[in-house]
């Protein structure tokens, strides 16, 4: 994973005053679950393309499109290229029949096939939709709201703590490893050495990082104890997220579209719009 992707998680919440930011966190996470679920039910490129346009439009509204595009380029694009090159290409994907483009080389046909390309496009666009919806929910929801939502959703406060502490720890440990790395390089660590030596380098980077983190664990545990983390009392949050009219409007819209999608499944099956493309099960 590239440093750009880490930068995105490091930055976490993106403070803006947009319609998406003002929505309740529960609405955004429900939307994320809802759109991901329907994208994995349908095997139809048109459905996933429309879903992708919807989530990308929301990313533009939330003004996080740069984040989203960067993550998609880093995570989804390589899978698209590998998938189209291998499954859509001449490597023997069993469903490939219709050549989109083909050339003859030494008596062999090298081509790009419709069935394999559609298969890869459907699966990767599903990924693109879910990743965009996830980022939309994550980077537009304040961490304090996240904690409050978890407690309101009756999740154990220990889980809420672990989730939020991880999000806080990631940038701390990432900064720490950068410092350790620079210190070790100044002591002679060669990151351009042979593969075996680079594997050995993991140990000299990981031991100080892990022992430092374990040391902090002890301090954090004492701090939590002293603040009554284990006290058998009801935990309260500083923020109290409340559903607004715009949230209910989104719920209503999701309910209407769900009815339409169920109607589509019942009347036209799981491939409602693509003509001439058969449903391909993975490994089938």
Partner 1 sequence: MTTGKGTGATTVEKPAGFAILQIVLIPVIAALNYVTGVIINILKLPLFMDTWATMFGTVVAGLWVGAAGGFLYNIIMAFTLWGLPAWVWGFINIYIAVITWALWRIGWVTVKSPAKLVAAGIIVGVTNVVPVTIISWGVFGLMPTYAGTAWIYAAVLASTNDTLSASVVSSIIAEIPDKLISLILAAVVASRMPARFTLRPPKA
Site for partner 1 in 33-62 (CB under 8 A): 33, 36, 40
Q: How far is the CB of 165 from partner 1 (least distance, A)?
A: 4
Among 61, 75, 250, 261, binds partner 1 (CB under 8 A): 75
Question: Taking CB under 8 A as the rule, does residue 245 contact partner 1?
Answer: no
| Beta carbon nearer to partner 1, 217 or 249 | 217
| Beta carbon nearer to partner 1, 91 or 263 | 91
| Alpha-carbon distance values, 153 to 3, 22, 124, 211 (Å) | 33, 19, 31, 35
Site for partner 1 in 103-122 (CB under 8 A): 119-120, 122
Strand partners, 105: 108
Q: How far is the CB of 245 from partner 1 (least distance, A)?
A: 26
Bridge-based pairing state of the strands 99-105 and 108-113:
antiparallel
| 116 touches 96 (CB < 8 A) | yes
Site for partner 1 in 83-102 (CB under 8 A): 83, 85-87, 91-94
Of 25, 237, 1, 3, the C-alpha closest to 139 is 25
Question: Taking CB under 8 A as the rule, does residue 254 contact partner 1?
Answer: no
Site for partner 1 in 197-226 (CB under 8 A): 198-199, 201-203, 205-207, 209-211, 213-218, 220-221, 224-225
Q: How far is the CB of 89 from partner 1 (least distance, A)?
A: 8
Stretch that binds partner 1, among 19-27, 79-87, 103-111, 252-260 (CB under 8 A): 79-87
As a whole number of angstroms, the distance between CA 13 and CA 24 comes to: 14
Sign, CA dihedral 190-192-195-199, equals positive
Among 13, 163, 251, 273, binds partner 1 (CB under 8 A): 163
Q: How far is the CB of 46 from partner 1 (least distance, A)?
A: 18
Question: Taking CB under 8 A as the rule, does residue 233 contact partner 1?
Answer: yes
Give the three-class secondary structure for 111. strand
Report the first-to-last Cα separation within the chain, whole angstroms. 31
DSSP 131-175: HHHHHHHHHTS-HHHHHHHHHHTT--HHHHHHHHHHHHHHHHHHH
Site pattern 119..158 for partner 1 (x: CB under 8 A): xx-xxx-xx-xxx-xxx-xx-------------------x
| 140 touches 20 (CB < 8 A) | yes
């Amino acid at each position: 994973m590239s440093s750009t992707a880490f930068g995105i998680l490091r930055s976490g919440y993106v403070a803006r005053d947009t319609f998406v930011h003002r929505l309740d966190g529960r609405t955004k996470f429900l939307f994320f679950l809802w759109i991901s679920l329907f994208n994995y039910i349908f095997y139809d490129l048109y459905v996933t393309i429309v879903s992708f346009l919807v989530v990308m439009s929301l990313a533009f509204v939330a003004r996080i499109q740069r984040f989203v595009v960067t993550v998609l380029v880093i995570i989804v694009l390589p899978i698209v290229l590998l998938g189209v090159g291998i499954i859509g290409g001449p490597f023997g994907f069993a469903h490939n029949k219709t050549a989109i483009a083909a050339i003859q080389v030494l008596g062999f046909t090298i081509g790009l096939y419709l069935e394999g390309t559609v298969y890869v496009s459907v699966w990767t666009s599903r990924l693109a939709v879910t990743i965009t919806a996830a980022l939309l929910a994550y980077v537009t929801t304040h961490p304090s709201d996240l904690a409050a939502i978890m407690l309101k959703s009756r999740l154990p406060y220990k889980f809420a703590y672990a989730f939020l502490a991880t999000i806080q720890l990631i940038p701390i440990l990432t900064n720490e490893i950068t410092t350790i790395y620079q210190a070790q390089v100044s002591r002679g660590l060669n990151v351009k050495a042979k593969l075996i030596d680079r594997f050995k380098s993991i140990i000299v980077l990981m031991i100080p990082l892990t022992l430092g983190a374990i040391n902090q664990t002890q301090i954090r545990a004492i701090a939590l104890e002293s603040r009554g983390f284990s006290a058998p009392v009801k935990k309260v949050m500083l923020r109290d997220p409340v559903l607004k009219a715009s949230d209910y409007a989104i719920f209503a819209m999701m309910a209407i579209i769900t009815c339409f999608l169920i109607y589509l499944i019942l009347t036209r099956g799981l491939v409602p719009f693509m003509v001439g493309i058969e449903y391909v099960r993975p490994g089938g």
